[in-house]
């Protein structure tokens, strides 16, 4: 809303998980965004699990994206494992927000492949068949195949890029460890 008042064309992108969408402040934010027609995109990663609670018992709706309609704006569901589809939906939402056409709730449907935290054991509550099906929709493998079909990705490029990026990461880590520790006053620098 402040961006609109200042006449800026910036767009806010905020991220939340499906479990967090059951909290009251999420709905308050959707309501305020709808009422003020704010240039904001709510990007929700629906990984099917709120810690150990299945998506099936989190909400009576068939899609979390449907919640946006109750606040007067568009909700879009997208395959969260399809990098290009996610890109297209986000670009469209940014263009819409910049044009003054209001917020968008994007629900990226995916699957949590790992633990929620260090004390979590998904084997206690997750269906192994469902897990194996989700492995077949790996977004990294999908985008690699897509790029390879365009002639933009191959094993040599991957190996070279891996070496290059490891070098950049090592340099960044060395610089971080060599830097002086921040002071409490540094909190106010930016």
Active site residues: 112, 116, 125
Phi, psi of 76 (to 5 degrees): -130, 130
Distances (CA, A) of 179 to 113, 175, 182: 35, 6, 9
Asked if residues 33 and 67 have their Cβ atoms less than 8 Å apart, the reply is: no
Cα Dmax for the chain: 52
Residues 6+ apart with CB under 8 A from 118: none
Is-contact 104 42, C-beta < 8 A? yes
């Amino acid at each position: 809303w402040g961006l609109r008042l200042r006449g800026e064309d910036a767009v806010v992108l905020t991220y939340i998980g499906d479990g967090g969408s059951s909290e009251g402040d999420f709905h308050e934010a959707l309501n305020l965004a709808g009422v003020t027609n704010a240039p904001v995109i709510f990007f929700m990663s629906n990984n099917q699990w709120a810690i150990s609670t299945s998506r099936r018992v989190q909400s009576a709706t068939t899609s979390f994206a449907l919640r946006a309609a109750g606040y007067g704006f568009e909700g879009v569901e997208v395959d969260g494992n399809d990098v290009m589809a996610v890109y297209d939906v986000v670009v469209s939402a940014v263009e819409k927000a910049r044009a003054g056409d209001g917020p968008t709730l994007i629900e990226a449907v995916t699957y949590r492949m790992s633990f929620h935290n260090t004390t979590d054991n998904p084997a206690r509550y997750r269906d192994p068949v469902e897990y194996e099906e989700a492995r077949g929709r790996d977004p990294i493998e999908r985008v690699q195949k897509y790029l390879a079909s365009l002639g933009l990705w191959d094993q040599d490029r991957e190996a070279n890029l891996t070496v290059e990026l490891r070098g950049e990461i090592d340099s960044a880590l060395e610089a971080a460890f060599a830097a002086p520790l921040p002071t409490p006053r540094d909190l106010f620098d930016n």
